[in-house]
Amino acid sequence: MEFPMRLNKYLAQEGIASRREADVLIEQGKILINGQKAVVGQKVTEGDEVELVGQTKKKQYYAYYKGRGVITHSPAQHETDIAMRLKQDYGLTDVSPIGRLDKDSEGLIILSNDGRITAPLLDPESKSEKEYEVLVDKNLSGMAQRLMSKGVDIEGYKTKPAKLVANPKNAKRFRIILTEGKKHQIRRMCAALGYQVQTLKRVRVVNIELGKLKPNQFRKITGEELQIFLNKLGL
């Protein structure tokens, strides 16, 4: 962070509130800087102690790499889910996965305790992008690429238009960007066109990228990255 910084921006980058919410909290006298009530427009300098009066839990946001074989939610007996891994390996219990990835898929899951992000992140009407790397069992034809981009009929439902980028070095590999998330959607789209998915990895959600994370690793989402993410979700 670069200081000095406007208080509402600081609160947003810390995940405490959006800028609009922050200004309301400041006007209500619920934000203290070094023990004194803050005022709208005030700036924070490095080392200042900022406190939300009556704060319960600070909002947290993480990018997490779900490995293959791990269940996102509601595991059956003898299965492992994300919550179990987080608690067992990191003692992390106060955030939950937003959305799903099926057992055989891997990649990026957003973890948070901020319920506000669930609807805009998962509602197809919000058009929040999710990007995937896919490997299929045979070379993807130009016709299949065009059909997947325009929408594929899967059991009576036509998928929304998607962005597809072929891999110039391997015709079995491609990237696809969706704005919806029907159950097993990419696998079903591929199957409808005569392809079987070999590997499927989500590499981006909105502006949050998987990057260099490895399975069962996570990183905190903060600062400008968090502010862009929340802004794109309308928060």
pLDDT of residue 74: 84
For residue 68, give the amino acid letter. Answer: R
Instruction: State the pLDDT at residue 21.
Output: 85
Q: Which domains does the chain carry? A: 5-52 (3.10.290.10), 61-122+216-221 (3.30.70.580), 129-205 (3.30.70.1560)
Could you tell me the maximum CA-CA distance found in the chain, to the nearest angstrom? Answer: 65
Q: What is the Cα–Cα distance from 124 to 159, expressed in whole angstroms?
A: 11
Give the residue ranges of the chain where pLDDT is below 70.
55-57
Position 77 scores a pLDDT of: 87
pLDDT at residue 49, as a whole number: 85
User: What would the two tokens of residue 235 be?
Assistant: 């928060």
- pTM equals 0.78
- Total residue length of the chain: 235
Q: What is the CA radius of gyration of the chain?
A: 21
* Tokens linked to 127: 């058009």
pLDDT tens digits, one per residue of 166-222: 999 999 999 999 999 898 999 999 999 999 999 999 999 999 999 999 999 999 999
Residues contacting residue 232 through CB under 8 Å, at least 6 positions apart: 128, 206, 207
Tokens 């924070």 correspond to 44
Helix (H) and strand (E) counts in the chain: 7, 16
pLDDT, residue 55, reads 64
Query: In this structure, what are the phi and psi dihedrals at residue 218, rounded to the nearest 5 degrees?
Result: -145, 165
- Per DSSP, the three-state class of 85 is helix
In a 3-state reduction of DSSP, which class is residue 116? Answer: helix
CA dihedral (190, 193, 198, 201) in degrees, to 10, reads -20
* Terminal C-alpha separation, the chain: 20
Active site members: 102
Report the pLDDT value the prediction gives residue 230, as an integer from 0 to 100.
93
Q: Check residue 133 and report its DSSP letter.
A: E
Rounded Cα gap, residues 22 and 114, in angstroms: 15
CA atoms within 13 A on the CB side of 101: 28
In whole angstroms, give the CA distance from residue 118 to residue 14.
19
